[in-house]
Structure 1
């Protein structure tokens, strides 16, 4: 189903929650919602430049973000202002919830970065995940999070996203 009208695109507020607190929220253009897979587009919502050493997120970057109501992750295609693909940043999250114009996801600390050419695949923040205590407080969610990271890592190393992002 298309999320836009002939006059103007539909907007949603993306809300990222971490450890019970709002981490960030920002407006995004709703591109598609098929009932399971939600796609939005938004400019970089962070303050200034965020340099990870292997990639920089900066003003002008555009994120096309894919969320699922039945999967424990989101995949964000990151492009520079000139349209050049920087890569894909994947957040391990609880399944997304879209209601009343708000797309809410809970960040579970684990992340994956995949460079534009697919040669650099990095698992991130595994130390933060271990320190979060999720394995003790919600072992089922912790297991789902680890399985989601493993799935995305395998997809990235086996040739990319294919049908996942359609």
Structure 2
């Protein structure tokens, strides 16, 4: 059951992968217009995690953008002092938002560095190995289109502006 979240309320974000909950964490709602929900949460991992291109660590703050009609979620990542690290994007089925924000991760990811100099398509091998293309061709095609759309936005330099407009407006 979908509902519109209220700014300032607490909500749980649940990331599902392969039918199982991968991670669950608390967040605070920034805004929700009925299609696009924005929440803010501290780094939910245990300790630090170094991906090679970015390190997520205690004190990092994620401003997370979820859409009920798009096949991705975008997380703006800032360090404890507020400096932008970049944007981590999950290709996922459209968010289900009710008592929780539930997102089904489809393995494909994209990273855009704060200076916009680095755009990385991630985990395409995991996506291919997942078997989604065999189980659900339409979902696999939507996931690939979403990754292409995210990359095009990132390379066009409109990525940050799109999210800033959504948060402000």
Using structure 2 for the length normalisation, give the TM-score: 0.92
Residues 24 and 2 of structure 1: is their aligned pair in 2 closer, same or farther, counting only changes over 3 Å?
closer
Distance 1:132 1:144 in 2: 15
Which residue number corresponds to residue 50 of structure 2?
A: 51
2:95 paired with 1:96: yes
Matches within 5 A, 1:4-15: 4=7, 9-15=8-14
Deviating beyond 2 angstroms after TM superposition, the runs of 4 or more aligned structure 1 residues are: 1-4, 162-165
Matches within 5 A, 1:1-150: 3-4=6-7, 9-100=8-99, 102-150=100-148
Distance 1:113 1:159 in 2: 13
Q: What is the CA-CA distance between 1:71 and the residue it aligns to? A: 0.1
The 3-state SS of whatever aligns with 2:138 is helix
- Any gaps of 5 or more consecutive residues in structure 2? none
Deviation readout 1:78-134 (Å, 9 max, x if unpaired): 00000000000000000001112x000000000000000100000000000000000
Asked whether the equivalents of residues 90 and 113 of structure 1 are also in contact (C-alpha less than 8 Å), the reply is yes
- Any gaps of 5 or more consecutive residues in structure 1? none
The 3-state SS of whatever aligns with 2:47 is coil
Distance 2:60 2:47 in 1: 11
Asked whether the equivalents of residues 2 and 31 of structure 1 are also in contact (C-alpha less than 8 Å), the reply is no
Q: What is the CA-CA distance between 1:160 and the residue it aligns to? A: 2.9
The 3-state SS of whatever aligns with 2:45 is coil
Q: What is the CA-CA distance between 1:163 and the residue it aligns to? A: 2.7
Asked whether the equivalents of residues 37 and 66 of structure 1 are also in contact (C-alpha less than 8 Å), the reply is yes
Asked whether the equivalents of residues 73 and 90 of structure 1 are also in contact (C-alpha less than 8 Å), the reply is yes
Asked whether the equivalents of residues 118 and 160 of structure 1 are also in contact (C-alpha less than 8 Å), the reply is no
Distance 1:53 1:114 in 2: 13
Using structure 1 for the length normalisation, give the TM-score: 0.94
